[in-house]
A = this chain, B = another copy of it.
Amino acid sequence: MKPLILITNDDGVAAKGLRTLDEVAMEFGDVVVMAPEYNASGMSHSITSSRPLRVREVKQAPGLSVYCCDGTPVDSVKLAVEYFCPRRPDLVLSGINHGSNSSINVLYSGTMGAVIEASALGIDAIGFSLLNHNPEADFTPCIPFVRHIIGTTLERGGLPLGISLNVNIPRLPADEIKGIRVCHEAHAMWHDSFEKRTDPQGRPYWWLTGKFVCDNPPEASDVWALDHGYVSVVPIHPDFTHYPALHELDHMFNS
């Protein structure tokens, strides 16, 4: 039986990056798409519990079923796995995101929220992002890398246990991308996150903005890799525990 691949994103079901990912995934198996109807960027791992969700069928074609819902990327994964996939997916893909999810951006990303949810459900998952926010971005240079990463993962029978992948692709022509680097998240932060403005009635409001600051990223990090023309692949896992601190904290609170 062909592999079953579930695809989602956070830019919405009509996004160009999603269509690119569908096309590559269909080379490897049957594809079910369940994505938010509209843009759900910055939704992280959020779930919708205060209202019910609706689902709309967008398209049925041989080897491809496309649905959208009015929930988040994480809702999309849960709903699709439980109700819209004909069997348990072999792989969940998310993206291709319009914009970077390297470094600390993984925390805010709906694209990566979906990946982490799949991983928490025990399903191999890979998130792809291109460092280009433009809705009309050219995804062509991504294709050979997306194909290689999906193909290798399926051939090998999956990812190492409990691991999912955060793949970012630099905004470069295909022949200038140097290859793949497996790396860790760079430590960074967003500065000046809100801009204060005044509305026409003279009342203040605050709008999210911010400047990504990552000074001297180490050579083993994703930001370094992307800055130097490589595709970055970061293995991630859905456990926030900082294991090395366990002993020190036990001493701190229990002595």
Q: Which of B42, B156, B242, B250 contacts A236 (CB 8 A)?
A: B242
Q: Does A162 count as interface, using CB distance less than 8 angstroms?
A: yes
Neighbouring B residues of A253 by C-beta, 8 Å: 148-149, 152, 180, 182, 233
**Residue among A45, A179, A237, A248 with the highest chain B CB neighbour number at 10 A:** A45
Shortest CB distance A236–B (Å)? 4
Q: Which of B53, B106, B242 contacts A205 (CB 8 A)?
A: B53
Shortest CB distance A146–B (Å)? 12
Q: Are B246 and A208 in contact (CB under 8 A)?
A: no
Within 8 A of B (CB), among A67-111: 69, 74-75, 78-79, 82-83, 104, 106-108, 110
Interface residues contributed by chain A, number (CB under 8 Å)? 81
| Alpha-carbon separation in the docked complex, A219 to B30 (Å) | 42
| Alpha-carbon separation in the docked complex, A242 to B184 (Å) | 8
Shortest CB distance A242–B (Å)? 4
Besides the known contacts A39-B50, A163-B242, 19 further A-B residue pairs in the complex with CB atoms under 8 A apart? A44-B44, A44-B46, A44-B47, A45-B108, A52-B197, A54-B205, A69-B206, A79-B206, A83-B194, A107-B238, A148-B253, A149-B253, A160-B248, A182-B249, A184-B243, A184-B246, A234-B240, A236-B242, A240-B240
Neighbouring B residues of A206 by C-beta, 8 Å: 52-55, 69, 79, 83
Q: Does A43 count as interface, using CB distance less than 8 angstroms?
A: yes
Q: Mark A127-155, 1 if CB is under 8 A from B, else 0.
A: 00000000000000000000011001000
